[in-house]
Chains A and B, each alone.
Chain A
């Protein structure tokens, strides 16, 4: 199985030249504690970088640094070739994890306030508000106080605020937290639409399934370190068509060797089980069982599971 660093190297070479956001070896320290330990990344127009990691891994701090809100202790961030410092530039839209809307203002008043604080003039602002209301399907709620909004509607408004000044780069910190499946689907659909419009997106999430839907590239951070940085397509290709789980009748898997079995992408042995990633759902199954039988091992139970990026990332990054 390829290591995460090898995957990184393989995909760094294939990056397009049109890079919008770059982070160079960012380190961020606070009170003698290093929160980010040398993180680099690149992001192109219309591409999405998904960032995963356990709690307190440094995801939000990384977003704050990419936004220009936090100044890195070492390294730097460039937006369109310009170093970021001294605040969030207007080209960046930032939607933090907490929904930050004024509950006693209507959705429209919220959007108007933030738009005016971006120095947008009245008519362009009104056009932009109408456009966002339409795109995010907020029409039934937009003239009601935000305090009455459901979690999903409030989060959509929160996202609209981040987009009010038409940013080139959108930073989303755990945008699907607390949403029901339908709202989650809608919100991810909105993100996909934005990507198609050429907006670059950096999105953190605990839910790897969400990242799988929208992210072109994935980064896993653990304890401030970049443990994985790879194109989602590459990772999905490695997933194969299915995962074969064979529980052995014996209490050991000594001598198992599935190398060379046609259709087996990778495999590993657990105390009384063998797990293999298959290129095809059915065809390699017979060959695997035959190879095990040759070693005197028999299946007590066989399970063929659909491919899971989450499972794969957990295998690549055990601390995730």
Chain B
């Protein structure tokens, strides 16, 4: 019971300190603007400038030149097609319209459609598409195709009814019109001859410029966020505040844990924001959002470890920490393969690169986004490396912090 109470108290203290560290940052609006403003503004600008191509044009416009019962029903069926933007259009020149609106495919229901169908002859529907986007207009073409099938079916029903009426000596026109109405009422284009649902594995997204920025450069930006937080925490030593905290019941291990947790919180938040902005602007998140989140958590742990190391150095050698921190963070980008591909670097530098979060984070993101790996060794190896790297660096940083605190008085 006593051990449980002690655990409860120490957890409460650590949590209180964590909230304090978060509040110190969050309440300082200028610092927050500086901390997140640069990475997020860069992400926004890059995404505005380097958008990957979005999904294919799925707009279908129907020009009804027949204005008959049959054409109205065809139009209504198309309008109910899920996953496709369908609208009616009144234009005399579909070619000109599509030339000006390349993301729209036009289906023209020709004049005389109903008469032709009731006569038992199908009339060819006209599809107008822009050459630049035609290959990506699969869904609209599918709807047009299925409507074409329906016209064939209606014409077939009318022809059959006419033949039957002729045999019975009945009114052929009335029989044909009735057959067309009955067939169309029961016709469901979703059950047409051509399949109307997209099945099979989704197409693997490409690793475009947005994804490259969000992951490769994103890690470097988050490292700078971690670096700024570490610098701010070094300044926290001013006025003896850090020492004063340790004169309470708060232990140094709890203090280090709270600081590490707050760095993890902010770096994780920043990385999530960078990815969210990129996804909102069209970056493909890969085959598994869960795997993307897992890699990002591991990357944030690694960056937290790095920041804790800088924090420890900052307390141990406060006069050099700023220069050292900036140089080290740039070096991480260079050695970690962000600026030049890691494979093109010389052997020794390549080895140094394996000690940086950048190298492993890049490898993990590439495994997911480029190779579609969602659980194999190709993904787990860098994820585990990131977590280990973070924990080891955090422990070294904490050790330096303890040493510096003991020496400082």
Contact = CB atoms under 8 A, between A and B. Distances in A.
Interface of A: 60-61, 64, 67, 69-70, 87-88, 90, 94, 96, 98-102, 104, 113-114, 116-119, 161, 165
B301 to A, nearest CB: 26
B240 interface: yes
Contacts of B173: none
B249 interface: yes
A96 B241 contact: no
B315 to A, nearest CB: 15
B99 interface: no
Interface stretch (B10-18, B55-63, B216-224, B385-393): B10-18
A98 B16 contact: no
Contacts of B17: 117
A300 B246 CA distance: 61
Task: Return the 9 tightest CB-CB contacts between A and B, nearest first.
Answer: A117-B248, A100-B244, A100-B240, A88-B247, A98-B240, A100-B241, A117-B250, A100-B239, A96-B240
A69 B409 contact: yes
B241 A102 contact: yes
A70 B9 CA distance: 25
DSSP class of B's interface residues: helix, strand, loop or mixed?
Answer: helix
A104 B239 contact: no
A69 B250 CA distance: 13
Given A100-B243, A119-B12, A119-B13, A114 B409 contact: no
Size class of the contact patch on chain B: 20 to 34
17 contacts: A64-B409, A69-B243, A69-B409, A87-B251, A88-B246, A88-B247, A90-B249, A94-B247, A98-B239, A100-B239, A100-B243, A101-B241, A104-B28, A113-B16, A114-B248, A116-B13, A119-B9
Contact of A104 (B9, B27, B249, B409): B27
Interface string B152-183: 00000000000000000000000000000000
Contact of A119 (B27, B243, B247, B249): B249
Interface in B168-202: none
A224 to B, nearest CB: 15
Interface in B222-249: 239-241, 243-249
A118 B250 CA distance: 7
B233 to A, nearest CB: 13
A101 B17 CA distance: 15
A117 B409 contact: no
B20 interface: yes
Contacts of A161: 244
Contacts of B20: 113
B96 interface: no
Contacts of A101: 239, 241
A147 to B, nearest CB: 11
B126 to A, nearest CB: 70
A234 B147 CA distance: 114
A144 to B, nearest CB: 14
A117 B249 contact: yes
A102 B13 CA distance: 18
B38 interface: no
B24 interface: yes
Nearest to A114: B248
Interface in B2-38: 9, 12-13, 16-17, 20, 24, 27-28
A204 to B, nearest CB: 14
B241 A118 contact: no
Contact of B246 (A87, A98, A104, A116): A87
B409 A61 contact: yes
Contacts of B244: 96, 100, 114, 161
Contacts of B24: 102, 104
B239 A99 contact: yes
A118 B251 CA distance: 11
Contacts of A60: 409
Given A70-B409, A100-B243, A117 B27 contact: no
Contacts of B13: 116-117, 119
A99 B9 CA distance: 27
Contacts of B409: 60-61, 64, 69-70
